[in-house]
Chain A
Amino acid sequence: MSETVGLELELNRRRIRLEVRPNETLAEVLRVRLALTGTKVSCDAQVCGTCTVLLDGRAVSSCTLLAADADGRSVTSVEGLADPESGTLSRLQRAFIGHAAFQCGYCTPGFLMSATALLAEIPNPSRQQVIDYLEGNICRCTGYEAIVDAVLDAAGEEAK
């Protein structure tokens, strides 16, 4: 058995192939090998949600997911939210700006990814559903209100 694993995956809507060591996490591969530093690592223990990316559309902690487990699957990081042609930010990203839903911004990519998964799953969530879904994302600056407002705003736009 070789020391590396060949991966073929869809990353931010582009098919890529790369070789990784089995002990590399998805966060390490994104940040170090691919220079996609939008994904942040904070607690490194699947608690804070800062490193959230989407795996086949579902939120996962990239800090503890082996990169090898992304083989054959689709991965979306925060860099994949904007329109790839025009660079226009997603509705959710614009709502975060509109509501000033961040202060230091470190947790923001994780919140954007979790909320993107939420809106794909529940397009028109109640305030409580947003709170429940984002329970596993921690923000030490905002007090969460503006974040929840932004998500609900983006959902409202989506529903129009």
Chain B
Amino acid sequence: MIPRFQLHRPTSLDEAVELLGELDEVACYAGGTELVQVMKMGFAQARHLVDLKRIDQLDGITDEEDGTMRIGATVTHRTIGDSQVIRRRLPALCALEHQIANIRIRNVGTIGGNLCFAEPHSDPATLLLACDASVGLAGGEGRRTLSLDDFLLDAFTTAREETEIMTHVSVPPMAAGARIAYHRLALTERPTVSVACRLDHTPEGTVEDARIVIGSVGPRPIACAAPAQLRGLDSAAVAQVADEMSHACASEVEPLDELELSPAYRQNLVAVMVRRALGEAIGAAT
């Protein structure tokens, strides 16, 4: 049984921000797949819950003129997975969203809730970090935008103030030569290891910029430094160094000891997933 709380259902962002400023022991929720679960288990308490689902400004996916995608914070995983706009701009995100947890979580859980909860095994956080996403926050002091990198601080910890509400996630346009791959191994509902790889290519087909982000093994997703060495290589050359690169990335992470899997085993899984993601990214480019 969930401890008692009062429910508030604002219909505008201003009203919601005001409620957060006024009330003590208050938490926002949308799908509730994270918050209601931990409240039920006694890991979180709130005397007031603010339901964000009735606020239109937090909903919807828009494709802006410069190619930026704006995904409202209360958009569900299901809606993102099915979105034609996102399928055009960033198909890897649609594919990822279709893999999250199970159909019931995807039908209810939201992108904003996922990122604000900052569970270390978040699928979207890993890919969105590789895509230089940012998040919008609204609070009593006004609005601000933070890169996802600055937003995600630690396990279950973000830069969001308690009186702020996440309004949306912004994904900048990917370069014409960008090849993006996301690979995960999931032994339970959440991934054990997840890897996002983004290779931007020059028109000549060499790597202009390379990102490899490892999720699910540390307190938050980690952008590896080693992929900078891939710059200037063509796909054949990347294929040649893929094995070496996968071990270099794996050596940059310090897996948490959890899920009864030893850190060494998970480090090995990281190398396998990096190799697969890199393989897909160069395969798609050729």
Q: Which residues of A contact B (CB under 8 A)?
A: 1, 3, 5, 21-25, 28, 44-47, 49, 52, 55, 58-61, 64-66, 68-69, 114, 117, 133, 135-136
Contact B51 A59 (CB under 8 A): no
Chain B residues in 8 Å Cβ range of A22: 4-7, 49
Pair A46/B101 contact, Cβ less than 8 Å: yes
Residues of chain B with a CB closer than 8 A to A1's CB: 6-8
B143 within 8 A of A: no
Q: Do A69 and B102 have beta carbons less than 8 Å apart?
A: no
Q: Would you call A64 and B37 a contact (CB within 8 A)?
A: yes
Q: Which residues of B contact A (CB under 8 A)?
A: 1-8, 32-33, 36-37, 40, 49, 51, 53, 78, 101-105, 107-108, 188-189
B37 adjacent to A59 (CB under 8 Å): no
Asked if B37 and A45 make an inter-chain contact with CB atoms under 8 angstroms apart, the answer reads: yes
Instruction: Select one of B5, B101, B104 contacting A59, CB under 8 A.
Output: B104
Q: Which residues of B contact A55 (CB under 8 A)?
A: 107-108
For the complex, give the distance between the alpha carbons of A133 and B37 in Å.
Answer: 22
- Bound complex: CA of A45 vs CA of B101, how far in Å? 12
Q: Which residues of chain A are near B6, meaning CB under 8 Å?
A: 1, 3, 22
Known pairs A52-B104, A136-B104; list 18 more (Cβ under 8 Å). Answer: A1-B6, A5-B7, A21-B4, A22-B4, A22-B5, A22-B7, A44-B40, A46-B105, A47-B188, A49-B104, A55-B108, A59-B107, A60-B104, A65-B32, A66-B7, A114-B103, A114-B104, A136-B103
Flag if B1 contacts A23 (CB, 8 Å): yes
Q: How many A-B residue pairs have CB under 8 A?
A: 79
Nearest chain A CB to B4's CB is how many angstroms away? 5
- Neighbouring B residues of A49 by C-beta, 8 Å: 102, 104
Task: Decide yes or no: A64 and B1 within 8 Å by CB, A44-B40, A46-B102 being known contacts.
Answer: no
User: Interface on chain A toward B: helix, strand, loop, or mixed SS?
Assistant: mixed
Chain A residues within an 8 Å CB radius of B51: 68-69
3 interchain residue pairs of minimum CB distance: A136-B102, A22-B7, A23-B2
- Write the nearest CB–CB distance from A159 to chain B, whole angstroms: 22
Query: In the complex, which residues of chain A have a beta carbon less than 8 angstroms from the beta carbon of B2?
Result: 23-25
* Interface residue from B78, B101, B108, B188 paired with A65 (Cβ < 8 Å): B108
**Nearest A-chain residue to B53, judged by Cβ:** A69
Please tell me if the beta carbons of A46 and B104 are within 8 angstroms of each other in the complex: yes
What are 14 pairs between A and B in contact, CB < 8 Å?
A1-B7, A22-B5, A22-B6, A23-B4, A28-B1, A47-B102, A49-B104, A60-B104, A60-B107, A61-B104, A66-B7, A66-B32, A66-B36, A69-B51
Assembly CA distance A55 to B49 (angstroms) = 21
Which B residues lie within 8 Å of A52 (CB)? 104
Residue of chain A at shortest CB distance from B8? A1
CB-CB under 8 A from A65, the residues of chain B are 32, 36, 108
CA distance A53 to B266 in the complex (A): 36
Among B4, B40, B51, B108, find the residue whose CB has the most chain A CB atoms closer than 10 A: B108
Q: Are A23 and B5 in contact (CB under 8 A)?
A: yes
| Contact partners of A59 in chain B: CB under 8 A | 103-104, 107
Given contacts A59-B107, A117-B103, contact A23 B33 (CB under 8 A): no
- Residues of chain B within 8 A (CB-CB) of A21 are 4
A69: B residues at CB distance < 8 A:
32, 51, 53
Residue of B nearest to A48 (CB): B102
Bound state CA distance, A44 and B38, in angstroms?
11
Min CB gap B221→A, angstroms: 23
The interface centre, meaning the residue of B6, B7, B51, B104 with most chain A CB atoms within 10 A of its CB, is B104
| Chain A residue, CB-CB nearest to B98 | A132
- Select A46's contact among B4, B5, B37, B188, beta carbons within 8 Å: B37
Q: How far is the CA of A133 from the CA of B3 in the complex (A)?
A: 33
CB distance from B33 to the nearest CB of A (A): 6
- Nearest CB to that of A4 among chain B residues? B7
Docked complex Cα distance between A82 and B32 (Å): 30
Give the distance to chain B from A45, nearest Cβ to Cβ, in Å: 6
